[in-house]
Amino acid sequence: MTFVRLCNIALMILLVLSLGLHLVLRRTAGQPNPDLFPDMVHTARYNAFAPNPYFASGATLQVPDPRTSPHNGAPLGYGPGAQEAARAARDLRNPLSAQEPASLERGKIVFSNFCQPCHGSAGRGDGPVVARGFPAPPSLAAEHAQALPDGHLFHIVTHGQGNMAGYAAQLSQADRWKAILFVRSLQRQGNAAALGGSR
């Protein structure tokens, strides 16, 4: 028997042995690997309402630092529904003014992205979504919408009304007020057109 042949046989035996060993010692797939340095692998976790020895207050859930602000501005403080809409109509004023061209410009962008699909480019309730069968909203240029106070519009854009969903999740409060500035400007343009003025 040549040396090379001996080597081949030895390698074959080693291969079979290692495969056999692998079969015998095989770990189940769901089992995690051993932790060699487990120091930071198993950190303690606390549920939101569980007591917590690490904070002076002894609670896990902490009150946000007063210097931070929620990403969507302060909570509005008005719930959904007609009664709350009436309260918002009474109390809220648009903090932005159409005198600032940037606000109105932004309002136009918000309106064309979020409102125009249903309300139409002039707010007449004839947007492409309506053309495909969505119930038509009343014209924003109509007397009814013109008479609604800014606070009421803000409540509608925030919480929705009837078939219209609220946009609190998609639009910041500032963007909602800017969209309302633009609705007002559409209404003024509608009036000017009705009076035969410039368009």
Angle separating helix axes 150-159 and 82-91, nearest 10 degrees: 140
154 binds ligand HEC (CB under 6 A): no
The smaller minimum CB distance to ligand HEC, of residues 52 and 161, is found at 161
Residue 23 structure tokens: 């079969």
- Where in 84-123 is the site for ligand HEC (CB under 6 A)? 114-115, 117-119
Helix H or strand E segment including 20:
helix 3-25
Residue 15: which of 5, 7, 27, 3 has the closest Cα?
7
Q: Spell out where the chain has E strands.
A: 160-161, 164-165
190 binds ligand HEC (CB under 6 A): no
One residue of 157, 177, 178, 186 binding ligand HEC per CB under 6 A? 157
Place of tokens 């950190």: 43
The smaller minimum CB distance to ligand HEC, of residues 97 and 163, is found at 163
One residue of 162, 169, 195, 196 binding ligand HEC per CB under 6 A? 162
Q: How far is the CB of 86 from ligand HEC (least distance, A)?
A: 13
The smaller minimum CB distance to ligand HEC, of residues 51 and 135, is found at 135
CB 59 within 8 A of CB 52: yes
CB 111 within 8 A of CB 103: no
Number of residues that bind ligand HEC (CB under 6 A): 23
* Residue numbers at the binding site for ligand HEC (CB under 6 A): 114-115, 117-119, 129, 134-135, 137-138, 140, 144-145, 153, 156-157, 161-164, 167, 179, 183
